[in-house]
Amino acid sequence: MNYSISEENYLKAIYLLQSDGNLVTTNALALELETSASSVTDMLKKLKQKKLLHYQPYRGFKLSMDGRKVALDIVRRHRLWEYFLSEKLKFKWDEVHELAEELEHVNNKKLTDRLDEYLGHPKFDPHGDPIPDSFGKMVKTPLIKLSQLTENKTAEVYNVGNQSTEILHLLKHHKIQIGTRLEVKRIFPFDHSMEIKVKSLSPITISEQLAENIYVKIL
Amino acid sequence: MNYSISEENYLKAIYLLQSDGNLVTTNALALELETSASSVTDMLKKLKQKKLLHYQPYRGFKLSMDGRKVALDIVRRHRLWEYFLSEKLKFKWDEVHELAEELEHVNNKKLTDRLDEYLGHPKFDPHGDPIPDSFGKMVKTPLIKLSQLTENKTAEVYNVGNQSTEILHLLKHHKIQIGTRLEVKRIFPFDHSMEIKVKSLSPITISEQLAENIYVKIL
DNA sequence: AATTATTTTTAGGTTTGTCTAAAATAATAT
DNA sequence: ATATTATTTTAGACAAACCTAAAAATAATT
Ligand SMILES: [Mn+2]
Ligand SMILES: [Mn+2]
Ligand SMILES: [Mn+2]
Ligand SMILES: [Mn+2]
């Protein structure tokens, strides 16, 4: 019923990695959590024993129903705190993740629900990710990657598929954030880089790698 | 520069126990932290090595200047979160301590300062304890124990010298809280119990033990 | 001052979460 | 099909924070 900070970090990371339902690998999780593969294996055994995980040695793993429920609650707390930090304490959207990474581990249902209420039951965190409600339900928006757009399409930025400070700094430099409207001007076949126009600024060119990590809604 | 949750809990407990500057004993700290005396000794060695403590084996201990500084910062975070929970999330004053006990360990100067600012730089937490500012400074009010009052004196409750849920529940039952005005009607020499009148309610009798733990300002 | 009681420390273990290096298994290439 | 490479697990260790039981130091009594 109550999990350690480490267990919680593992559960959340597995949830995020498996998003589309496929199995997660030991190495992928080790990379995500910046730890060794052997540490991951140790934890997998423990989480399996607690029935939070479906895990066959060497074959990969994914969360059980129970594990998913726990993970969704951690994600809920994480994103609510991010919203609080951004909305109430005026932190920039690239500063909130690191702090929420700690606040998420204060596990108290009444606190979470009161915070949710105080914030007005927000549906999205500052990065555009949906916030699960107390039943684990959340809205899903039909988002596509910026890299999937064709020339002359206009779209609004809704989400970023990667929370590293590196990408957030790059986005800041390009003056791209959640809610930004942009127009695809050209796509260069050689490296699939894109020329885009953000608001009334002069056009900029972004890499395919970056476009792969920006989720938008077509306007 | 960065301490574990356990180290922080020890530092804060030592700070609170030594309040008036005298040495703290191993057993007193073990009692406060609900742990064994041998565990306390282990931690004392570590904190001494980190120069946060003045400690002579068998003789007792107290915080060094550095240790006091760290402890004050933890106390600051604890009391700011208590204020937040009480003021913004509408928690009752007997519910906030337990939650703040966890939130206090999220150690980030910018977060603490932003929270302080967001709350309007409050001077007292919901239990009437002063909140240190970012330099560790706090106001000190000239409070006396309710048990020190004489008959027919009127006073206002400012603080409770004990954060146990037991005392908070008893106070709730007697309808006594921070800010309550009360009048001492009679003091019974046999057991030093006190008859007091709270607002316009009919008089009640409280034990000496309780009166020892209620701090008031004479009106 | 000697004995007894209390307090504190030490000795030796346990659990959790981590690590490196070696062994086992699976995937890929020849 | 075998050999090579990559991935994953196991083996064995370590640090942090806790424990109980025994020993040592201090304090209180007689
Ligand atoms: Mn975390
Ligand atoms: Mn987020
Ligand atoms: Mn605490
Ligand atoms: Mn308090």
Select from A8, A91, A106, A115 the residue whose CB has the most chain B CBs within 10 Å, as the one to mutate to test that interface.
Answer: A106
Smallest Cβ–Cβ distance between B114 and the set A89, A103, A106 belongs to A89
List the single residue in A88, A103, A105 with the smallest CB-CB distance to B118. A88
- Tokens 């008036």 belong to which residue? B20
Entry pTM: 0.82
> Residue B178 CA: which ligand is closest?
4
- Which strands form B204-206's sheet, in the order they lie side by side? B144-145, B214-218, B154-160, B181-188, B193-198, B204-206
Mean pLDDT for chain A?
A: 93
Quick: pLDDT tens for A174-193.
Answer: 999 888 999 999 999 889 99
What would the two tokens of residue B113 be? 């300062």
pLDDT in tens, chain A (219 residues): 899 999 999 999 999 999 878 899 999 999 999 999 999 999 999 999 999 999 999 999 999 999 999 999 999 999 999 999 999 999 998 899 999 999 999 999 999 999 999 999 999 998 888 999 999 999 887 678 899 888 888 899 988 888 788 888 999 999 998 889 999 999 998 899 999 998 888 899 999 999 999 999 888
pLDDT score recorded for residue B163 = 78
Is residue A13 within 8 A of residue A32, CB to CB? The reply is yes
Q: C1' nearest to CA of A45: which nucleotide?
A: D9
Question: Taking 80 as the threshold, does the pLDDT of residue B141 lie above it?
Answer: no
How long is the CA A162 to C1' C18 vector, in angstroms? 26
- Whether the pLDDT of residue B20 is over 80: the answer is no
| Per-residue CA distances from B106 to A5, A98, B52, B83 (Å) | 13, 11, 20, 16
Kindly list the distances between the CA atom of residue B192 and the CA atoms of A59, A219, B161, B166, B189, in Å, as whole numbers in the listed order. Answer: 72, 77, 18, 21, 5
Residue A193 CB contacts under 8 Å (≥ 6 apart), including other chains = A187, A205, A206, A207, A208
- Backbone φ, ψ for residue A113 (5° rounding): -65, -40
| Å separating the CA of residue B168 from the C1' of nucleotide D17 | 31
Phi-psi region at A60: left, alpha or beta (left = phi > 0; alpha = psi -120 to 50): left
| Distance between CA atoms of residues A27 and A67, nearest Å | 20
Through-space separation of residue A38 CA and nucleotide C24 C1' in angstroms: 14
Angle separating helix axes B65-87 and B109-118, nearest 10 degrees: 40
Report whether A214 contacts A146 (CB < 8 A).
yes
- pLDDT confidence bin for B19, thresholds 50/70/90: confident
Nearest CA among A74, A73, A17 for reference residue A40? A17
Kindly provide the residue ranges of all beta strands, DSSP E only, lying in A4-101, ordered along the sequence.
53-56, 60-63
* Confidence band, pLDDT 50/70/90 cuts, at residue B52: very high
Residues of B in contact with A87 (CB under 8 A): none
pLDDT in tens, B55-95: 999 999 999 999 999 999 999 999 999 999 999 999 998 89
